[in-house]
Amino acid sequence: MNIKESLLYGFCLSILFFNTALSEPVPMVSEKEQYSTQAALGQLYFEKASDLIQQKEVMKSIAWLEKAAQRDHAEASYVLASYYELGIVVLQDEARAIKWYRQAVKQGHRDARFNLALLLIRTHTTAQDLQQARTLMKVLAEQGDREAQYSLSQMYQQSSDRVAVDLDASIYWLKQAAKQGHPYAQNNLGLHYLQGKWLEKDPYKAFRWLKRAAEKQVPRAQFNLALMLEQGNGTSQDISKALHWYQMAAQAGHANAQHNLGIKYLLGEGVAVDVPGALVLITQAASQQHENAQYLLGRLYQGGYEGVNSDSGQAIKWLTLSAKQGHADAQYQLALLLSQDKGKQLDAKYWTKQAALAGHRKAQGLLAQL
């Protein structure tokens, strides 16, 4: 056999072996095995991302999180969605956040379900978004999650073109959350009983629920509890306890409580007179745009008070802030102050007119004289 024939024979033999190999059955990989392999890869990718995050290389972790999420890794999908929702090391992108939250929800991720529902509520443009948000949250609420119950209660108070408000459902889930000790649910339920708008008015039930919320450090509940104790509404009158809850709410920054407690210190109602302490509290409330506190502060500086020196500049400042919020008495007093300055006559007339339009009798009389 010459060289040419030898090469031809070798080529034919290789083709024969190749065809024989192809004719042998190829072992099939089951779907379960394929899923297991993908899950293992997803876990490896997620661990790589986690290592990078621990090393503060968050930007580099994004690519690995995406690889893990593409392999149905629930936690990777959740973390990635959170990054896009909050704009952490990536541009904020709510559409992508929704996409990855949905992916995590499919894998049974509870926190993703909760966040997706809230995100849909915040960004919803269609009735379908609102309805889907309610459906997502209801699954968690029915499992006894009090945060979900409280959020679902709020969702039933919202509406869109084709989805109506459902007050009965809202109250039902609010009660469920309150019974489980959710502080803001307890506060809201107490307010509903106090106001009698959605529930039959019942000050005694209102007091009980507000007290539970107040004990959990909810400032609004503390303030309303103080009011009820001061007025003897739903409970026996107790000024000492009222002052305690006013103080608690004021320390937490509640403007109404700061204003009311400031008046107590100013007038010595239930406590010793403390003008400096009153001034601090009233100023704190006024700085939070509390129009009555701004008015009171302006008046204190306008005429002076025990321990408070008269200061027309401060009086004008605070009265102006209150007047701009529509406080008729502030508008009138501001007009009186400005009228003392020949260069401020137009401003004085403007505020007199505003007070008169708000129904202030003295301002109406003054306006007629101008």
Is the pLDDT assigned to residue 212 strictly greater than 80? yes
Contact 134, 156 (CB under 8 A): yes
Reported as a pLDDT band with limits 50, 70 and 90, residue 104 is: very high
Contact 255, 293 (CB under 8 A): yes
Q: How far apart are CA 126 and CA 169, in angstroms?
A: 21
The pTM of the full predicted model, rounded to 2 decimals, is: 0.83
Average pLDDT, the chain: 89
Q: Domains along the chain?
A: 40-123 (1.25.40.10)
In tens, the pLDDT along 183-211 reads 999 999 999 999 999 999 999 999 999 99
Largest CA distance in the chain: 133
In tens, the pLDDT along 141-153 reads 999 999 999 999 9
Q: How far apart are CA 6 and CA 90, in angstroms?
A: 64
Range of 5-14, 160-169, 171-180 with top mean pLDDT: 171-180
Q: What is the CB-side half-sphere exposure of residue 139 using CA atoms within 13 A?
A: 15
Residue 369: per-residue pLDDT: 77
- What does each C-alpha distance from 120 to 106, 129, 130, 137 come to in angstroms? 16, 6, 7, 11
* Helices within 216-290 (DSSP H only): 219-231, 239-251, 255-267, 275-286
Is the pLDDT assigned to residue 6 strictly greater than 80? no
In tens, the pLDDT along 252-289 reads 999 999 999 999 999 999 999 999 999 999 999 999 99
